[in-house]
Amino acid sequence: MMRNAGLITVCFGSIFILSACGGGGATDAEVEQALKDVNVIDETNLNEVMLQVADPNEAVTYFKRTIAQNPDRIDLRRGLAKSLVRAKKPTEAAAAWKQVVAMPGATSEDQVDYADALIRANRWDDAEATLDRVPPTHETFKRYRLEAMIADSNKEWKKADSFYEIAVGLTTTPSGTLNNWGFSKLTRGDFAGAEKLFSEALSYDNNMFTAKNNLVLARAAQRKYELPVIPMTQIERAQLIHTAALSAIKQGDVNTGKALLAEAIDTHPQYFDAAVRSLEALENGNSVGTSG
């Protein structure tokens, strides 16, 4: 904030210099332009704050109010669209991005962001059509991640694998994409391939519990019920044992499942209600769900 204040001070200083030069001083138009430049600097900083740290709903209100005063500013409309995504309002976000891509100055990245919003709004066909309009020379991580997701939804497995591989190579933080790729393999029945990808995801982020749980599911599908050697808290260990137990029961390995449920209950540092209910249901001859 000190840097911003210093910058604004310099701008105001330039106004006074204008006034002191040229004999009769600066014209009203020159002073007005200088003040406008100060406002733009200040507004740009505020826009960034709204996009990065503000409450998403407050950001939406801010950008809507500012757009009403400046309807032709594409940067403000981008800010609104991004804020609507952050606020988990996918339908409104898709509509906002549609307005952005129709404006002069819209970029290929805007099209990619529009496709992302369409996917969030469950409009997969529209998202695919939008990405088809993006030039092939626009090679970014986000573009290929979305291409992979769309190929997955169409069960075009070879295309999905190719796009996931490209996406992973375009980011330094591929854990989430590797987890998605692994889940894709899991749904196809390629359990060994899924196991490998979940393990790779954890090599980049060993705190991702979703990848840990998915890894246990992939191993359990191969009847490998022992936990993998990965970092985990005591609570996570209990939860992962519970996942393995339910998978074992689903596959007909009931005795193994019972033993794992008992182990999960003993492992958890507090009362593990879900595991207790699962074990009681099993012992009473009732079916046990796999959701825990």
Total residue count of the chain as it appears in this document: 292
Domain count, the chain: 1
Over the stretch 259-272, which tens digit does the pLDDT of each residue have?
999 999 999 999 99
Residue 258 belongs to some domain of the structure? yes
Torsion of CA 29, 34, 36, 40, to 10 degrees: 160
Over the stretch 21-42, which tens digit does the pLDDT of each residue have?
444 555 665 555 544 444 544 5
Contacts for 75 with CB less than 8 Å, ≥ 6 apart: 47
Residue 284 belongs to some domain of the structure? yes
Q: What is the reported pLDDT for 114?
A: 98
Q: What is the reported pLDDT for 290?
A: 46
Q: How far apart are alpha carbons 210 and 122 in whole angstroms? A: 22
Name the one residue in this structure whose structure tokens are 């012992």: 283
Q: What is the reported pLDDT for 75?
A: 94
Exposed / middle / buried, residue 228 (Cβ in 10 Å: 0-12, 13-18, 19+): middle
Look at residues 199, 282, 276, 209 and name the one whose alpha carbon lies nearest to residue 242. Answer: 276
**Which residue numbers in the chain have pLDDT < 70?**
1-44, 286-292
Residue 54 belongs to some domain of the structure? no
Residue 8 belongs to some domain of the structure? no
Residue 155 belongs to some domain of the structure? no
* Domain boundaries, position 257: 233-292
Q: Is the pTM of this model over 0.85?
A: no
Residue 288 belongs to some domain of the structure? yes
Residue 199 belongs to some domain of the structure? no
Q: What is the reported pLDDT for 286?
A: 66
Residue 290 belongs to some domain of the structure? yes
The DSSP code sequence of the chain is -HHHHHHHHHHHHHHHHHHHSTTT---HHHHHHHHHHHHHHHHHHHHHHHHHTS-HHHHHHHHHHHHHH-TT-HHHHHHHHHHHHHTT-HHHHHHHHHHHHTSTT--HHHHHHHHHHHHHTT-HHHHHHHHHTS-TT---HHHHHHHHHHHHHTT-HHHHHHHHHHHHHT-S--HHHHHHHHHHHHHHT-HHHHHHHHHHHHHH-TT-HHHHHHHHHHHHTTT--SPPS----HHHHHHHHHHHHHHHHHTT-HHHHHHHHHHHHHHSSS--HHHHHHHHHHHTT----S--
